[in-house]
Amino acid sequence: MALQLMTEKWTGEISVVTIGATSKNGGTRSYSIKIGGEKSLPCLFKEGTLPNKPQVAFEIFDVTPNDWPNEVIKLYGKSVNDPLEWAQMCIQDFKAQSLCIRLLGAHPDFGNKSAEEEVQLIKKLLKEIGVPLIILGSGDDAKDNLLLPAISEAAKGERCLIGSAVQDNYKTISAGVLADGHSIIAESPIDVNIAKQLNILISDMGLPLERIVMNPTIGALGYGLEYAYSIMERARLAALSGDKTVACPFICFVGQEAWRAKESKVEALPEQGIIWEALTATALIQAGADLLIMRHPKAVEKVSRYIENLMTNDKILSPK
């Protein structure tokens, strides 16, 4: 008697979020990227369709990073002092398919730039580069309440992914994103119930659940990764079982967390940080990550190769 593969049948599916609007859709991006759409758990290709591969975006700042290790900074050189030059380097030298810009300079403790200054920067980026954009605020809720609606309006029609919306500031950000045709990042502190509640609150503002990307907040390899993995797994199981309030793609800030680990900063072992970032990313892909925000080009290269092998061969390969 021939053995049969046991497969799970799911009733739900993850929504598809499109980032970037081309001229056909009223924007100026060279192309769009799609994330989400899964009808099965990660990597189980025989159980359901996984139509869109995980995407990787390079992270850049509007000001020179003050907490990035030399191992990362030295690759970008003087371009880290000019966000436009930095963005162009990522695209031209490292073949970035999308960019995530963090407007840290607007934070009261890191420059306190005005909303108008940041608006002018985003306008320049949109004019000079054609890749889809993920735009993050300063991390200060009060400042982001002023900043992100202005940024949303400046990028109107470009279908950016804007964040992060948290329980203290989701109303003003959601209203701007809804009016200007973008999608939103909903950030919750590694808790499925809080993530679900925030998604409901945002959708009550009129923004469809299909325009929400969840940031579950993650830990790096050895620093809470297994807990983040289990939270993402629980959310994905609920979504595939029919809970539409958590049926949103995941965004994971891999570079931010991986390069915080002391193991990634060992100067005598410069490759270790790259490995730390790459392995954190590949583990999160298996947890269901749809969009990975990364920093080191070599780590991005390894993870991109891993994704291509995974999607073309329907099997998991090590990120060599």
Identify the DSSP state of 7: -
Instruction: Residue 185: name the closest of 237, 177, 126 by CA.
Output: 177
Query: How far is residue 121 from each of residues 63, 110, 115, measured CA to CA in Å?
Result: 11, 16, 10
What's the CATH number where 91 sits? 3.20.20.20
Domain presence at residue 215: yes
* The two structure tokens encoding residue 112: 């306190």
**R_g (Cα) of the chain, nearest Å:** 19
Percentage of the residues of the chain whose pLDDT score is greater than 70: 97
DSSP-based three-state secondary structure for 34 = strand
pLDDT value of residue 168: 85
Average pLDDT, the chain: 93
Please state the rounded mean pLDDT for residues 176-188: 97
Residue 199 and residue 212 in contact, taking contact as beta carbons nearer than 8 Å: yes
Domain presence at residue 165: yes
pLDDT value of residue 264: 86
Domain presence at residue 14: no
Percentage of the residues of the chain whose pLDDT score is greater than 90: 83
* pLDDT confidence tier of residue 316, bands split at 50, 70 and 90: very low
Which position has the token pair 């060279």? 30
Identify the DSSP state of 250: B
Question: How does pLDDT run across 68-120, given as a tens digit for each residue?
Answer: 988 899 899 999 999 999 999 999 999 999 999 999 999 999 999 999 999 99
Domain presence at residue 319: no
Record the pTM: 0.94
Residue 21 and residue 29 in contact, taking contact as beta carbons nearer than 8 Å: yes
**Residue range of the domain that includes 214:** 35-307
Domain presence at residue 314: no
Q: Which sign, positive or negative, has the C-alpha torsion 78, 107, 228, 175?
A: negative
Domain presence at residue 10: no
Task: Look at the chain and report how many structural domains it folds into.
Answer: 1
Instruction: Residue 60: name the closest of 221, 297, 265 by CA.
Output: 297
Question: How does pLDDT run across 8-52, given as a tens digit for each residue?
Answer: 889 999 999 999 999 999 999 999 999 999 999 998 888 888 999
Domain presence at residue 5: no
Domain presence at residue 28: no
